[in-house]
Amino acid sequence: MTQPVCDAPLIRRLLPPLQALSLVCLLFATLGALADSGPWSSAGPMVAVLYGSAIPVVALLWVARSRVGTARGRAVLTVLVAIVLIPVAVFGSVGFTIPVLLTAVALMVVDVGRATGLLTTLAVGAAVVILHVSSGNGLLVGLVNSLPVVVLLGVGIALGSALNAYEQAHARDRRTIAERDQALAQLEEAITQLRHTAEIEKELLLADERTRSARDLHDGLGHRLTLISMSLEFAQRSREIDPDAAWSEVATAETTAREALSEMRTWVRALSPVRDRDATGAAAFEAIAESFRGTGLEVVVDSGEHELELTPDASLLLYRAVQEGLTNALRHGHADHVRITLGIEGAEVVLRMVNDLDRSGLEHIPVGEASFGFGLRGLADRAAALEGGVSAARRGDHFELRVRLDARRCLGSELGSASTDDPVPAAPAAAGQRRSVREVTP
């Protein structure tokens, strides 16, 4: 059984006026039957009674149909309308009775089915033939009179089929919209879960790195504190025997204490989380850089003309690379200046960190590719998962850390596809965001 059509907006707007106009036409047919003065004038009052009595009954049934919420209820009411209108189709002449008959047959197709509408049309045609044969007019006259009725009711079948097709299309559209809304809701939930997972992963990664850094801090400070203790103990024993040697050890202890304090401040900066937890890309780099500027390090962050929308994995990796690079620049290179650039080169997103080296760094860091420690090895493994790589090397009196990532893996689809066709140079020196703050440790 066909589903009800009243839920379709177009049918809901057009059907009531169509029903009302068809009943008005049936009223005109009633008045015409009363005014008939031809050979059938004796039957005119009877036909008028049939037509007139059908008007309120059909109107009530159609009103009830519009308020019934089930397909079965609408089908029953539509069948009752067809039964009431059978005398209208059989007796009298067509003319003004056509609209109400077409509407009834169309609703029969919509509410019950096309086959039922076709059977109803054939039944009305057969009734007309039987009526003429029983009246002595003959089979030929009956066929001639029934044929126009069948053809006109066939138009009602076509109208009902069109309305039915529209209702089915409308139902499909509603299902599609509902499925789309459900898919969007699931996608939004998945994105929320992904962001939550990425945030947890970021916190776990930073916790691991802070644990490793704290271990290194413990080892480094422990070694220096041991040296300080030994120097002061030696100075205390030799202050009366050899005052100069004692004061030399005190000076050594003071120098070692300053180095320990400087290293502790460096690690405190490295272990400090970014203040803005929602910051990504260059904004996150700037937040990390700001935490290191308290050591007296001058950091310039340059993201170029294009603000890159990185995926969570890529953003987390580059965030960690900046943190590792700044830490190494202070610990090993004793740098005064660090420049961070982020941009697209060909089909890759490239992060560069270049820092200067003091005299100690120039003496102890060889020219060329540097060997990886634990931190850089971890960065290289995560970069390889994004079809990229990590390189670190001394070039002249500067040290460069470079992280390369496949743009298709770490950017949105639009930027990732465009990067292979329209390369964007990586952060020219005069363009983009540039921040440089020099702070001296109090």
Point out the domain boundary residue: 156, 183, 210.
183
Give yes or no: residues 314 and 179 share one domain. no
Listed as ranges, residues in the chain with pLDDT below 50 are: 1-7, 37-42, 275, 413-442
Question: What does the pLDDT read at residue 404?
Answer: 93
Question: Which of helix, strand or coil describes residue 340?
Answer: strand
My answer on whether 329 and 442 are in the same domain is: yes
One-letter identity of residue 123: A
pLDDT, residue 353, reads 93
CA of 384: how far to CAs of 71, 126, 387, 390, in Å? 61, 83, 5, 8
Q: Are residues 167 and 288 in the same domain?
A: no
Task: Report yes or no on 65 lying in a domain.
Answer: yes
Q: Give me the number of domains the chain comprises.
A: 2
Query: Do 162 and 284 fall into the same domain?
Result: no
Please indicate, yes or no, if residue 226 is contained in any of the structural domains.
no
Is residue 198 one of the residues assigned to a domain? Answer: no
Residue 310 CB coordination number (10 Å): 22
Same domain? For 174 and 277 the reply is: no
Residue 412 belongs to domain spanning: 273-442
Domain C-terminal end among 162, 183, 204? 183
In the sheet with 298-302, reading across from the earlier edge strand, the strands are 368-369, 389-395, 398-406, 348-356, 337-345, 298-302, 435-437
Among the candidates 183, 198, 230, a domain finishes at: 183
Structure tokens at 377: 């090895």
Residue 426 sits in a domain whose CATH number is 3.30.565.10
Output the furthest CA–CA distance in the chain (Å, rounded). Answer: 155
* Same domain flag for 147 and 282: no
For residue 248, the model assigns a pLDDT of: 87
Indicate whether 239 belongs to any domain. Answer: no
Nearest Cα residue to 411 out of 315, 338, 278, 319: 315
- The answer to whether residue 323 sits within a structural domain is yes
Other C-beta atoms lying within 10 Å of the C-beta of residue 176: 10
Q: What pLDDT, on the 0 to 100 scale, is given for residue 434?
A: 36
Q: Is residue 190 part of a domain?
A: no
In a domain, 91, yes or no: yes
| pLDDT confidence of residue 269 | 60
Query: Considering the domain boundaries, does residue 268 fall inside one?
Result: no
Q: Are residues 161 and 32 in the same domain?
A: yes
